Amino acid sequence: MSKLFSKVTLIADNGSTDEFFCGGIVNCEEDLENVDAYADFLEDNPDAESIEVESRAYSYGEGESEKPDDEELTEIANMGDEFLNNDEVDEIESSNFIILTDNEDFEEEDDESFRMRGF
């Protein structure tokens, strides 16, 4: 069995950052919906209006792919770059995208650039 996981970096527009490992490939917000570290980041940054996500997906081992369990992810995180630089670990995909948060303080009528575009 091979293990399929991603190293994810979150960068909020308020300057806050976080980095963590999660199972599977992350290339959209839906891929983070059940990830505790992402939920914690959102909770810790209620003033963020957007979050940049940088993700690199990796495969470790041979055979059919599966997501690592929490214990395996902890081991991967503890080894960090040393593990990622192992000859048996292959980077298979990278992606960058922006998540627009549902900031309750934002009001369209107060945003001048919103009005200027005629929306």
Residue 104, pLDDT score: 55
Three-class DSSP category at 117: coil
Decide if 25 contacts 44 (C-beta within 8 A): no
Of 70, 74, 16, 4, the C-alpha closest to 40 is: 16
Give residue 34's pLDDT band: very low, low, confident or very high (50, 70, 90). very high
pLDDT digits (tens, 9 = 90+) for 88-112: 999 999 999 999 997 554 444 444 4
Per DSSP, the chain holds a count of helices (H) and strands (E) of 4, 5
Residue 115, pLDDT score: 44
Give residue 5's pLDDT band: very low, low, confident or very high (50, 70, 90). very high
Residue 102, pLDDT score: 77
Of 34, 45, 40, 23, the C-alpha closest to 101 is: 45
* Structural domain boundaries in the chain: 2-116
In terms of pTM, does the model score above 0.85?
A: no
DSSP secondary structure code for residue 44 in this structure:
H
Give residue 55's pLDDT band: very low, low, confident or very high (50, 70, 90). very high
**Two structure tokens written together for 31:** 């891929």
pLDDT, mean of residues 27-53: 96
Residue 103, pLDDT score: 58
